[in-house]
Structure 1
Amino acid sequence: MGNCKLDLIILKEELAVCRLQQDAPVPGWALKGDFVSITRTPDELSLLCPAARVPSGVKCEKGWRCLMVKGPLAFSLTGILAALVVPLANQGISIFAISTFDTDYLLVKEKDLERAIQVLSREGHRIRP
């Protein structure tokens, strides 16, 4: 996609990334919310869900905010994540990325959200709440 400029939408809800054992059933609390992602690998069950829904005692990292790339995006497009991740990495901002059939989602820690918006805006991306 070369020098791509993207439209991003900031999702409102604080999210959490949780880790359960690879053979654990998907818990009901993880299925409720506007943004949920479930990934099972041979090593873990990884859940991304609203932070407020995570019960105490669950291994997780809370405090994530999500920037959604306005889609849908064609599978033939290249450089979408790189256009976002490289400028943030250059400024020392950690990310967690999720891709779906239609688009990409970039998560940054709440404490880094304003700085991430500034960095991405300087790169020409358009960001709206």
Structure 2
Amino acid sequence: MTRVRCKFFSLTETPEDYTIIVDEEGFKELPESEHLSVAEATWLALNVVSGGGSATNSQPIGVTKIAKSVIAPLADHNISVFMLSTYQTDFILVRERDLPMVMHTLSSEFTLLRVINGETVAANSLGVTNGFPQ
């Protein structure tokens, strides 16, 4: 069996439990276990950067500005978010079912980009208008 390395992995340990956040490839590699509970919703990780929009030349905004400029408008639309911060960058996780409304809410203030096969392209190719899929 060929193992696929996931591209997004986070492990958090607390006194009560462990939380593992992985992409789809990583999820497929998790062994089945009666001790493993899986969130009911699929969450998508959004990476917020400033500057030219390319992941190679942009600088992270920082958690203070993220909270002010990204999380607040989403909260105004009752969209739940999950923040995950690393030394290099911050991620905002949103439920997959909320993505159309997230795109609609943020598109008026931000240039939305996505990475496909390592290439950064405009996210308007998701086919979302007015908060609803086309």
Common fold: TM-score over 0.5: yes
5+ residue gaps, structure 1: 1-28
5+ residue gaps, structure 2: 50-57, 115-134
- What is the distance in 2 between the residues matched to 1:66 and 1:104? 10
**Structure 1 residues 128 and 79: alpha-carbon distance in aligned structure 2, compared to 1, 3 A threshold:** same
Q: Structure 1 counterpart of 2:20, which letter?
A: L
Identity score, percent: 29
1:111 matched residue in structure 2: 97
- 8 Å CA contact 1:81, 1:104 repeated in 2: no
- What is the distance in 2 between the residues matched to 1:50 and 1:78? 26
2:60 matched residue in structure 1: 73
Asked which structure has the greater CA Rg, the reply is 2
* Residues 1:86 and 2:72 aligned together: yes
2:117 matched residue in structure 1: none
Aligned-pair Cα RMSD in Å? 2.5
What secondary structure does 2:88 align onto?
coil
Pick 1 or 2: higher relative contact order, CA cutoff 8 A, min separation 6.
1
Query: Which residue of the other structure, out of 81, 91, 113, is the alignment partner of 1:128?
Result: 113
Structure 2 counterparts to residues 1-129 of structure 1, below 5 A? 32-51=5-24, 52-53=27-28, 54-56=30-32, 57=34, 58-61=36-39, 62-70=41-49, 71-73=58-60, 78-122=64-108, 124-129=109-114
- 8 Å CA contact 1:84, 1:120 repeated in 2: yes
TM-score normalised over the length of structure 2? 0.62
**Structure 1 residues 121 and 78: alpha-carbon distance in aligned structure 2, compared to 1, 3 A threshold:** same
What secondary structure does 1:60 align onto?
coil
